[in-house]
Structure 1
Amino acid sequence: MAVDSKERIDQWDTDHSWHPFTPMKEYLEFPITQLQRAEGCWIYDTEGNRYLDGNASNWSKVHGHNDPDLNAALVEQMNQMAHVSYKGLGHPTAAKLCEQLARLTPEGLTRSFFTDNGSCAIETALKLSFQYWQMNGRETKREVIAIRNGYHGDTIGSMSVGDAGGFHNRFSQWMFDKHVIPAPVCHEYAGKVAFQDDSESIQALTQLLQERSEHIALLTMEPWILGPGGLKLHPKGFLKKVRALCDEYDVHLILDEIFVGFGRMGPMFVCGAEDVCPDFLCLSKGLNGGYLPFAATVTTEKMYQAFLGDFAEMKTFFHGHTFAANALCTAVSVKSIEKLEAMIASGAIDRRIQTFEQKILEHLEGHPYISEIRQRGLACGIDISRGAGKPDFTVDDRIGFKFYLDALKNGLLLRPIGNTIYMIPSLIMNEEEMDLLCKQTAASIRTVVENA
């Protein structure tokens, strides 16, 4: 396809587009970067400039860009069948993907329901849980529990079970009510745990369940890491305590591994690493290597069996989307998971995590304008500060946005949230690229703070 001039593309963009999570007034005030192609961990714009993708394209590109194996799987499937309805019909790659997910997730998770994105995966889990309690004569179980600063998506239901105030406050009057418990605390990077405590969280959850369990349907949480909520870590073991309390008080546990799943933390899934079987496991982003919009809600045989019955019993789950189990999505997912299994078995991901930690220590530890580093696996959050003894930057200072612009000018693509920088490399990023990622991050922090 011939590429139009940069000026013409910019004009179409500025005249007709509306970008997600983007203050459009600011977007229009700065030069627009139009991306044209990508390879490995690098993205190239229409003017030939290249950028290291330190954000894995919104945390999704586990194999990097333009992976030849995923490309081949996509083309092979496209030449056979791009899409057919999954309503009452099946196809081979969807069946194979269901088998993979049942085999690789914790024992007890046996059934996969496919949707288009992470928010929809959460919505599916919510509706399954609510219908389950209703069908079992426990209609009082309608309330939900969220964890402080948790984030599960941007549809009404997924917003309702999160606590991302800065993103979602404007819609609060349309959300259903929830109970919010404190998040646990864990200060950790490069394998060093400075402090961790989950006692306040567990105490609050225990008290809430003692008082309201007959009315509470479910608890939704991101295991190990609060993603958009500041990349705050949970102590390992917290998830297991939550599972035990949900079991004791008969409350469904929905785990959102949309960010941390598929090798980002080292193991395939965090719940498997903690030997915890949730009632619902929500997956997206890395499910097909970030190639196509796709998600899965994986649940238990007990849940599935509860929905079996004659049509007249009205147990059917009347929910689903046009592109559920799209054949292109499932084909690429099958290949992506095969590649991840091989990477995990060979120790390749663990070695990259070790390299990432070494580069964090080399370039970022002790930086005068960093107040805290939080890292686990291939995910790192960095809080920018003015320096010891000086007041923190406010949201209005836009220091994160200024960092983004400086890093982009120097060939590094990162997307901070507020004043927290997120380094989320692809699982294939090599040592030289990780060195550049951490080195340029340190340099851009220094530049924007000293010019603030």
Structure 2
Amino acid sequence: MSDHLPLDAYWMPYTGNRQFKRDPRIIVEAKDVWFTDDRGRRILDGHSGLWTSGLGHGHPEVSKAVADQIDQLDFAPPFQFGHPAAFRLADKLRQLMPGDLNYAFFTNSGSESADTSLKMARAYWRLKGQPAKTRFIGRQKGYHGVNYGGTAVGGIGANRKPFGQSLEVDHLRHTMLPENTFCRGMPAQGAHLAEELAELITLHDASTIAAVIVEPMAGSAGVIPPPVGYLQRLRALCDQHDILLIFDEVITGLGRCGAYTGAEAFGVTPDILNLAKQITNGAVPMGVVMATPEIYETFMAHGGPDYALEFAHGYTYSGHPVACAAGLAALEVLVRDELPARVTSESGFWESLLHDALVGKPHVADVRNYGFAGAMTLESYAGEPLRRPFEVAMRMWDKGFLVRYGGDTIQLAPHFVMQREQMTSLVEALAESLDELAA
């Protein structure tokens, strides 16, 4: 099929376009944990799409909900009007959140959720009479999407470099320590790194800092679980100095960590929590920002006349009816089938499989895991840090497996419904690929 596709016009995202268009990888069908490519090959999806599809692809309940919603209401303007599915989905999400994260502001992606949360934080402090609180604290190796604000607070240098300096941002040091190499699950060492926040507060003064934004577990940088006690210390420092804490849970949210949120899994509740990806099982683009009553009610109390806008922000497709229908169906399956509990019960098998198969393989510098997520760091070729992961991922594709390569890592994210024999074939093929490429 790719021989007949007009490949040139599509400028592909996060893709080496030149290489891809010489050797296209075209997916034409998806069902359960499998893709089918344009040559008719079945490809085991080792990354749940793009951290999106834990229920498996083409889930019939999600598909039916989408089709039914299009037939009934394909679009409703979100500015000054509403529709039933948006209110129902917001209520459902509230029930799954930890603490009092009770208010849902819908977006269309994780990137939009990140920027929405940053604008929400700045506006909140202005309404509270503290307009000088504008600075953000991110973290090295953090990823918060590709929009203006998310790029600024993100901590992957290659993502920021082309666009220059933007917002007032500092970055905490990442939590990957040499003593935690090949650690299984949450590392015991590293909670002390949270004290760098205290140093930044001393430097800038808390009166200038709006929020700290982190992923509870870094995903796009290669599955970096938080050290034991690290997130608790960040929470305590934010409370002490009147700084908002934002969790970016676009990857960790809704099952990946064996709970409905990473906040629940790691025992720390933020003031704002960002979601996307898994919310619709990848069927329709959608994101959401969950906020506490303190934040929501501050906007309501300072909104002027009751017909005036309290938050001058939103998107044409915020809370889109079809996306909301997909989200309601996906969350119904997630809860009814107790899939976060399944992730927890099977995560020990997944952990042992990864470490037993990959530790000691050629050029493997580290293996990390938590819940249904895993990654390995690969030693670099001299001057070509991205080449080896690319070679491994392409070898896996040739073998009939999809894995994600990013930076110096290979990343894996099994579907919540993936069976043990499928996980085993995925990881064994990865180990085999490492051996073959080293030969």
TM-score (norm 2): 0.93
Paired residues for 1:62-211 under 5 Å: 62-173=54-165, 175-185=166-176, 187=180, 191=184, 195-199=188-192, 201-211=193-203
CA change 1:395–1:232 in 2 (3 A) is farther
What is the aligned counterpart of 1:446 among 418, 435, 438?
A: 435
Letter in 2 for 1:408: W
Counterpart selection for 2:274 from 282, 294, 314: 282
Q: 16, 36, 48: which is aligned to 1:23?
A: 16
> What one-letter code is carried by the residue in structure 2 that aligns with 1:240?
Q
* Partner residue of 2:42 out of 50, 57, 66: 50
Partner of 2:341: 347
Give the aligned partner of residue 432 of structure 1. Answer: 421
Residue pair 1:150, 1:221 contacting (<8 A) in 2 also: yes
State the percentage of identical aligned residues: 27
2:3 is equivalent to residue 7 of structure 1: yes
Higher mean C-alpha deviation, range 235-244 or range 180-189: 180-189
Matched, 1:376 2:377: no
| Residues 36 and 183 (structure 1), Cα distance of their counterparts in 2 relative to 1, 3 Å cut | same
Q: What is the letter of the counterpart of residue 170 of structure 1?
A: P
- Supply the distance in 1 between the matched residues of 2:11 and 2:46 (Cα, whole angstroms): 24
Matched residue pairs, number? 434
The residue identity in structure 1 corresponding to 2:278 is G
Q: For residues 194 and 40 of structure 2, what CA distance do their matches in structure 1 show? A: 52
Retained in 2: the 8 A contact 1:153–1:159?
yes
Partner Cα distance (2:100, 2:256) in 1:
23
Deviation track 1:167-216 (CA, whole Å, cap 9, x = no partner) reads 2211123x1121111123463768466652121x2221112223410111
Q: 1:376 to 1:382 in 2, by over 3 A?
A: same
Alpha-carbon spacing, 1:63–1:345, altered in 2? closer, same or farther (3 Å):
closer
Match of 1:219, SS state, is: strand
* Partner of residue 411, structure 1: 400
1:236 aligned to which of 228, 231, 237: 228
Aligned mates of 2:253, 2:199 — CA distance in 1: 30
Task: Indicate how the Cα distance of structure 1 residues 277 and 181 shifts in structure 2: closer, same or farther if over 3 A, else same.
Answer: same
> Hey, what does 1:357 align to over in structure 2?
351
1:266–1:346 Cα change, 3 Å: closer
Residues 192 and 152 (structure 1), Cα distance of their counterparts in 2 relative to 1, 3 Å cut? closer
What letter matches 2:126 in structure 1? Answer: Q
CA distance in 2, matches of 1:302, 1:205: 23
Match of 1:318 in 2: 312
Map residues 388-399 of structure 1 onto 2, 5 A cutoff: 394-396=383-385, 398-399=387-388
In structure 2, C-alpha distance between the alignment counterparts of 1:89 and 1:406, rounded to whole Å: 50
The alpha-carbon deviation at position 232 of structure 1 amounts to 2.2
Where does 1:299-310 land on structure 2 (aligned, <5 Å)?
A: 299-308=291-300, 309-310=303-304
- C-alpha distance 401-136 of structure 1, shift in aligned 2 (>3 A): same
237, 259, 270: which one aligns with 2:251: 259
Helix, strand or coil at the partner of 1:360:
helix
Q: Deviations over 1:32-76 (max 9, x none)?
A: 122111111110012211111111111111111111111121122
Distance in 2 (CA, whole Å) between partners of 1:362 and 1:262 is: 28
1:272 aligns with 2:264: yes
What is the identity, as a one-letter code, of the residue corresponding to 1:109?
A: L
Paired with 1:35 and 1:55, the residues of 2 have a C-alpha distance of 14
1:384 Cα deviation (Å)?
A: 2.2
* 8 Å Cα contact 2:359-2:366 kept in structure 1: no
**Any stretches of 5+ residues in structure 2 without a counterpart?**
none
State the partner residue of 1:388: none
Per-residue Cα deviation, 1:237-275 (whole angstroms, up to 9, x for no partner):
311211111111011111100001111010111112334
Evaluate the alpha carbon distance shift between residue 331 and residue 210 of structure 1 in structure 2; reply closer, same or farther with a 3 A threshold: same
In structure 2, what is the Cα distance between the partners aligned to 1:76 and 1:192? 41
Report which stretch shifted further, 180-189 or 326-335: 180-189
**What's the offset of the Cα at 1:220?**
0.5
What is the aligned-residue RMSD (CA, Å)? 2.1
Q: Relative to 1, partners in 2 of residues 1:104 and 1:412: Cα closer, same or farther, differing over 3 Å?
A: same
CA shift digits 1:8-42 (9 cap, x unpaired): 12xx11x211110112222223x212211111111
Q: Distance in 2 between matches of 1:434 and 1:177?
A: 43
Alpha-carbon separation, structure 2, partners of 1:129 and 1:33: 41
CA distance in 2 between counterparts of 1:265 and 1:188 reads 20
Q: Is the 8 A contact 1:400 1:420 kept in 2?
A: yes
Q: Which amino acid aligns with 2:137?
A: I
What TM-score, normalized by structure 1, do the two folds share? 0.91
Task: Evaluate the alpha carbon distance shift between residue 193 and residue 180 of structure 1 in structure 2; reply closer, same or farther with a 3 A threshold.
Answer: closer
Question: In the TM superposition, what whole-angstrom CA distance separates every residue of 1:113-133 from its partner, at most 9, and x where no partner exists?
Answer: 001100111111111111111
